[in-house]
Amino acid sequence: MYRSHVLVCGGTGCTSSGSQKILEALKEELAKNGLTDEVAVVQTGCHGLCALGPIMIVYPDASFYSMVKVEDIPEIVSEHLLKGRVVTRLLYKETVTPAGVKALIDTDFYKKQHRIALRNCGIINPENIEEYIGTGGYQALGKVLTEMTPDDVIQVLLDSGLRGRGGGGFPTGLKWKLAKQNDADQKYVCCNADEGDPGAFMDRSILEGDPHAVLEAMAIAGYAIGASQGYIYVRAEYPIAVERLKIAINQAREMELLGDDIFGTGFHFDIDLRLGAGAFVCGEETALMTSIEGNRGEPRPRPPFPAQKGLFGKPTILNNVETYANIPQIILNGPEWFASMGTEKSKGTKVFALGGKIHNTGLVEIPMGTTLREVIEEIGGGIPNGKKFKAAQTGGPSGGCIPAEHFDIPIDYDNLISIGSMMGSGGLIVMDETDCMVDIAKFFLEFTVEESCGKCTPCRVGTKRMLEILTKITKGQATMEDLDRLEELCYYIKENSACGLGQTAPNPVLSTLRYFRDEYEAHIKEKRCPAGVCKALLSYHIDPDKCKGCTLCARNCPNNAISGTVRNPHVIDQDKCIKCGACIEKCKFGAIYKQ
Amino acid sequence: MKSLEELRAIREKMQGQVSMRAEDHTHTRVVVGMATCGIASGARPVLNTLSRLVQEKGLTDHVAVTQTGCIGLCQYEPIVEVMEPGKPKVTYIKMNPDKAAEIVERHLIGGHVVENYTLSSADIN
């Protein structure tokens, strides 16, 4: 038995900032001080505050050390773990107040969060099934198998108001009900872990931090719809998640929580992994199932819906990782508990991956109905470098940009759609005044052009034409007729594409046109990029009054575009300038400007 | 695993461990002085006894055992302080593992301060 637990984050974020070395150094140092039997070292999943990794938490006093370095470990061990003197200097600075150390749950980042799907992430060791059971794990499965009928389970989900967290927001209970109604000799339960939106990583973190929650929920789903086999389709680019899922499945099989005759009830259910090769379209449900079948990942028309004819032509349900992670808690705490959180039509919480121009990049889980302002200014800590907020992008390449005028809108499925964006899987990219909205739209179109599977023409050819027009605009070569054509194409592609990828691909353009049309027009009419991003429309100049002739810029110019003699104003040769911006960075007198 | 009882047994075994990782304002804090003076007079076995018993008795959902530095009364070490929310702090002095076990039983579980081990009962000049 240990008197203290030291939790070291082993999520992808902290692993890449070196948490593995911290873990080793910690174990070594504890051994040196003879504390191995007194202090437990636990590697956990993501704690959310990825910007401050590697993260280390010491319990029971819950001291939160951030940006830990290997050199700090001896001090933390001898001072804190041996003598009980918290090394305040190394704590997360938000927890240190003049009145003493405050609890992590009282900091701005965590205060407004409510963790259901992320409840165990960063708390338990994901590679130890017993720790999951210790926090109530597999109790929901036990309850379902021994006390509830499949119809009861579906009714609980319907009453809870849970909607799909992968983006579409389809009621989960209804999906299960449809699959249950279809009789078949075999049915399947699938999990969509093919998280492909740029900037979204909540599914990865759940799989890395609490894989058993997903396995348990899938078994519950199997019982509810009458399936005995589950598949998790996970990206091969998530090696840590894949590894922990494998360990989790094996441990669950060993404990007979997967396999034959679970809890002696005669219910049989097993789960296998399928690795995706990284095609964005495979996140679309029919393409995903085609890929599991071993074919090229291309979507097919619906109907028939997967609930009728899904994987291998059998009734199938497909839910997202985060959706599953909510389910055991709904079963244990009841649908009323879940429905008490959120807004009228969107219940519960949603995990967002904060990224872009924001202080606290990382994962947050907030009740539906929280405003964008609360998420960005309070939880996210605002925009760095005193810049002004311009827009937030949600829903990845399928979503849109939300401008500052909608800062106080409560976030839920329907509100986001009404303002031209969508929930998507929950990526939230914050942009400030130095981001060009045309350039952002172009970035997402580049992504969809790359990822379009090519099966249907509107998406394959249409997105390419859109990208060409956008490129013309950013180069200052477009006309107002091009803008009209772009808009027309958007509606055409939306209405005629075969699957969600094409149907939503124009959203980044449509939403930026809706709120930032003036920026498009500035590019076209004035040949000017207001944010100063589009290189073709920029030129760099030296103010002769401010230039001291120090020659620093000329010496750093990679293309020898700057000429001038010592103590005399320098000049940039516009023909040679490649607009890299190196001169602006080097100039100590603020003499160089771009326009 | 063929029954819910087996699941429950694992849960109970692990609960004491895992619930240590909760953050709550309503926790009772049991603090052991672990500066050089404390360690020299035997605070470590006291700390380990307290920690072990609190977990064994399933008290971790509302009791946290932690250490602190020198309290400043080195001649009375090992010192253990019990801080319950809304109640005055109780300071126990000259602890050993047996006395610590008594405090777990009588104070943390029974709710009665073990008067004869407290600082206020000691004869301080």
| A327 and A236 part of one domain | yes
Residue of A8, A39, A44, A61 to mutate for B, most B C-beta atoms under 10 A: A61
Of A338, A368, A393, the last residue of a domain is A338
| Ordered strands of the A39-44 beta sheet | A39-44, A4-9, A56-59, A63-65
Number of structural domains (chain A) is 5
Buried/exposed A144-180: b ≥16 CB within 10 Å, e otherwise: bbeebebeebbbbbbbbbbbbbbbebebbbebbbbbb
Alpha-carbon distance of B78 to B66, in angstroms, equals: 14
User: Between B4-18 and B43-56, two packed helices, what is the crossing angle to 10 degrees?
Assistant: 150
Nearest-Cα distance to chain A for B113, in Å, is 23
Task: State percent of chain A over pLDDT 90.
Answer: 83
Give the residue on A whose Cα is nearest the Cα of B29: A61
Q: For A263, which of B2, B27, B47 is closest by C-beta distance? A: B2
Please tell me whether residues A151 and A58 are part of one structural domain: no
pTM of the full structure: 0.89
Name every residue whose Cβ is closer than 8 Å to that of residue A435 and which is 6 or more positions away in sequence.
Answer: A357, A390, A391, A531, A533
At B86-99, the pLDDT tens digits run: 888 899 999 999 99
Cross-chain Cβ contact B64/A146 below 8 Å: no
Mean pLDDT along residues A279-297: 94
Helices (H), A148-238: 150-160, 172-181, 202-209, 211-225
Residue with more model confidence, A76 or A107: A76
Query: Are A396 and A200 a contacting pair, CB within 8 Å?
Result: yes
Give, rounded to a whole angstrom, the gap between the first and last alpha carbons of chain A: 66
ipTM, 2 dp = 0.81
pLDDT of residue A199: 85
Q: Where are the alpha helices (DSSP H) in A62-125?
A: 73-75, 108-111
**Rounded CA separation A261/A219 (Å):** 12
- Clarify whether residues A182 and A306 are in a common domain: yes
Q: What pLDDT is stored for residue A231 in this prediction?
A: 98
Mean pLDDT over residues B40-46, rounded?
92
CB contact under 8 A, B20 and A257: no
Spatial CA neighbour of A438 closest among A514, A534, A527: A534
Do A426 and A443 fall into the same domain?
no
Domain boundary among A309, A338, A367: A338
Mutation to test the A interface, candidates B2, B14, B55, most A Cβ within 10 Å: B14
Where among A386, A414, A432 does a domain terminate? Answer: A432
Give the CATH number of the domain where residue B90 resides.
3.40.30.10
CB-CB: which of B7, B20, B34 is closest to A84? B34
Stretch A507-515: mean pLDDT, rounded? 95
Higher pLDDT, A340 or B28: A340
* A461-505: pLDDT as tens digits: 999 999 999 999 999 999 999 999 999 999 999 999 999 999 999
Nearest Cα to A115, choosing from B30, B119, B22? B22
Instruction: Give the count of domains, chain B.
Output: 1
Same domain, A99 and A176: no
Q: What is the pLDDT of residue A55?
A: 93
For the stretch A414-468, pLDDT in tens is 999 999 888 888 899 999 999 999 999 999 999 999 999 999 999 999 999 999 9
The residue segments making up the domain with residue A403 are 349-432
- A451 min Cα distance to partner chain B (Å): 43
Of B14, B34, B35, the CB nearest to A130: B14
- Report yes or no on A284 lying in a domain: yes
Q: Does residue A575 share a domain with residue A552? A: yes
Please tell me the number of Cα atoms within 13 Å of A159 on its side-chain side: 13
State mean pLDDT over B95-110.
94
Q: Which two tokens stand for residue A485?
A: 């054509």
What residues in chain A have their Cβ under 8 A from chain B's Cβ atoms?
A: 1-5, 7, 38, 40, 57, 59-62, 82-85, 103-105, 123-124, 130-131, 133-139, 142, 146, 255-257, 261, 263-264
| Residue A121 placed within a domain | no
Whether A169 and A89 share a structural domain: no
Do A88 and A138 sit in the same domain of this protein? Answer: no
**Tens digits of residue pLDDT in A106-148:** 888 988 999 999 999 988 999 999 999 999 999 999 999 999 9
Contact check, Cβ <8 Å, A59/B20: yes
- Tell me how far apart the alpha carbons of residues A72 and A64 are, in angstroms, rounded to a whole number: 14
Which pLDDT belongs to residue A274?
96
CATH of the domain at A326: 3.40.50.11540
Residues A135 and A220 in one domain: yes
Give domain status of residue A374, yes or no.
Answer: yes
* Phi, psi values for residue A292, rounded to 5°: -60, -35
Predicted pLDDT at B125: 46
Res. A242: pLDDT tops 90: yes
Considering only CA atoms, which of A532, A353, A351, A514 is closest in space to residue A429? Answer: A353
Q: Is residue A191 part of a domain?
A: yes
Q: Phi, psi (5° rounding) for residue A239?
A: -60, -35
- Which range (A27-31, A225-229, B57-61) has the least confidence? B57-61
Element (H, E) at B10: helix B4-18
Residue A216 in any domain: the answer is: yes
Residues from B contacting A (CB-CB < 8 Å) are 1-4, 7, 10-11, 13-15, 17-21, 23, 25, 27, 31-36, 39, 47-48, 50-52, 55-56, 60, 64-69
Residues in chain A: 595
Structural domain boundaries enclosing B96: 4-121
Interface residue of B10, B13, B18 to substitute, partner A, most A CBs within 10 Å? B18
Residue A546 has pLDDT above 50, yes or no: yes
DSSP characters for A6-67? EEEE-SHHHHHTTHHHHHHHHHHHHHHTT-TTTEEEEEE---S-GGG-S-EEEETTTEEE-S
Q: Which of A80-94, A176-190, A504-518 has the lowest mean pLDDT?
A: A80-94
Residue A531 falls inside a structural domain: no
Q: What is the pLDDT of residue B23?
A: 66
Q: What is the CATH number of the domain that holds A90?
A: 3.40.30.10
CA distance from start to end of chain B: 62
Predicted confidence at residue A107, as pLDDT, reads 86
In this structure, the answer to whether residues A195 and A294 fall within a common structural domain is yes
| A120 occurs within a structural domain | no
Span B68-86, pLDDT tens digits? 878 788 888 999 999 888 8
